[in-house]
A and B are shown apart, each in its own frame.
Chain A
Amino acid sequence: GQQLNQSPQSMFIQEGEDVSMNCTSSSIFNTWLWYKQDPGEGPVLLIALYKAGELTSNGRLTAQFGITRKDSFLNISASIPSDVGIYFCAGQLGAGGTSYGKLTFGQGTILTVHP
C-alpha cells in the first residue's frame, strides 16, 4: 500500500529558531494535510493543501504541495515553546472510489523546543 516517509523523526531546537519537516510518497495524493498532536489528544488540522505547487501559510506555519504531488513540506518560523508536539503529514486521495476520504499518515516528527 501507499506509504509516507516523514523526516526528520525528531527535532530539538531553541526557541526562536525556524523548523522544517517534509514528507515524500511513493505515489500521488490529491490533498496533503499537516496535523499537530499533543500528548493524549487527537490530531488538530494545521494546513490543508489541494493543488500541486500550492504554497499556503497559517500564521507562522507555511506548507507547500509538491509539484509532483508526491511530497510536501511544513515550515514553522520563530518557534515558541507551545509548538512542542508531534507533527504528522497526511495524504488523501480525491473524490470517488473506495479510498475516498481515507488518510495515509507519515510517521510523525517529534518537536521539542527549548526556551
Chain B
Amino acid sequence: GAVVSQHPSWVICKSGTSVKIECRSLDFQATTMFWYRQFPKQSLMLMATSNEGSKATYEQGVEKDKFLINHASLTLSTLTVTSAHPEDSSFYICSAPDRLNEQYFGPGTRLTVT
C-alpha cells in the first residue's frame, strides 16, 4: 500500500510556543490530505482538510488561526499549532488518499505541551 510519513514522531514544547508537524506522501501525490487528532482511548476526530494550492477547510469547532495548515506541494502538508497550550497535547495524525481514494495514515505525532 501507499506510504505516508510524519515528522516529528513526538515533540515536547513549552506553553506559548508554536510547533510544526509535517505530513508527506512518499510514493504518491495527494492533492488532499486530512488532519486528525486523537486523545487517549478515544477515536480519531477530523480537524481539517488540507488542499494543495488553496485554503484548508476546517471542521466545526476547530480554530483555523490556531491550527495553521499549509499544503505547499502534492506530497507535503504541514500543521502548525500556534501558541500551544497544555490542552493541545494530543496525538496528531494525517492521512492521504491514493488514486483509488483509499486513505492511508501517517504514524502520528505525539505533542506534549508543558
Contacts and interface: CB of A to CB of B under 8 A. Distances in A.
B101 interface: yes
Contacts of B97: 101
Interface in B56-114: 57, 60, 91, 93, 95, 97, 101-108, 110
- For chain B, the bracket of interface size reads 20 to 34
Contact of B44 (A33, A92, A101, A105): A105
B91 to A, nearest CB: 8
A78 interface: no
Interface in A66-115: 88, 90, 92, 95, 98, 100-108, 110
A45 B104 contact: yes
Contact of B43 (A1, A100, A105): A105
A102 B102 contact: no
A40 B34 contact: no
Interface residues of A, number: 26
A101 B104 contact: no
Q: Interface SS of chain B: helix, strand, loop or mixed?
A: strand
A101 B108 contact: no
A43 interface: yes
B25 interface: no
B110 A88 contact: no
A101 B43 contact: no
A108 to B, nearest CB: 5
B43 A103 contact: no
A45 B43 contact: no
A8 to B, nearest CB: 14
5 contacts: A41-B107, A101-B32, A103-B34, A103-B46, A105-B43
